[in-house]
Amino acid sequence: MKFYNVIIKYRFWLGLLAIALAITVNIMSSFWPSFILYFVGVIALFSHFFIGPMRLIQEPMEQGNVEEVRKILATIWFPGLLYKPVRSTYYTVLGNLSMMEQDFDNAEIYLKKSSSLGSPMPEAEGANKLQLGMMAMQRGDLKQGESYIRAAIRLGIPDKESEAVAYLSMCQIFMNKREFRAAKDFFRKAKACKPKTKQVVDQVREIEKYISRIPG
């Protein structure tokens, strides 16, 4: 596996080397002896630009090594050439990194680009829509926030913690609209997710203090 990662990391330069050797063999001999080197070189360069090194970010992401992730992403010189699902993942990762750095403007730009490309996994697209919805709510744009979060719920959200956040956000939106019956329904769905993250649990307890006294 590590050997494969090394190949991916240096694929572009190995591709150039293979083509340089192919040209040398071609000049000194003929085309057919150099054919395999041409073939390997072209495949290496094509896969570098079409697939990219996204496989390499998994380990540093798990380790929280943001700097290494950024270095890997920086080797993608022409993201527009990436295969569509890979390009969607590329922009999602950039959006998540921007959110970690509290750069919400760029995060929204990247996540919208990812969302426009779609995702091979509906749950990943659902998580993307949820993030866009949360950012819209932070700006006070509840209408846009509701639209994104509804889309996230419809597409599916990959974990119960995020699903609870989505339902709590919808609860707050409908309380603001004074549609209390719908707000209570979303609150029940949030509790049914049985969140364990302290921040989400605290939010559930806070809403629970007064939602039972609300009519509807």
Domain boundaries, the chain: 1-50, 60-158, 163-216
Give helix 84-100 / helix 122-138 axis angle, nearest 10°.
40
Query: pLDDT at position 216, please?
Result: 60
Query: pLDDT at position 173, please?
Result: 95
Mean pLDDT of 148-155: 93
- pLDDT surpasses 80 at 121: no
- pLDDT surpasses 90 at 211: no
Q: How much is the pTM?
A: 0.75
- pLDDT surpasses 80 at 131: yes
**Which one, of 179, 93, 178, 202, lies nearest residue 190 by Cα?**
202
Say whether domain 60-158 belongs to CATH 1.25.40.
yes
From the number of C-beta atoms within 10 Å of its C-beta (0-12, 13-18, 19+), residue 152 rates as: buried
Mean pLDDT of 153-180: 91
Instruction: State residue 77 phi and psi, 5-degree precision.
Output: -80, -30
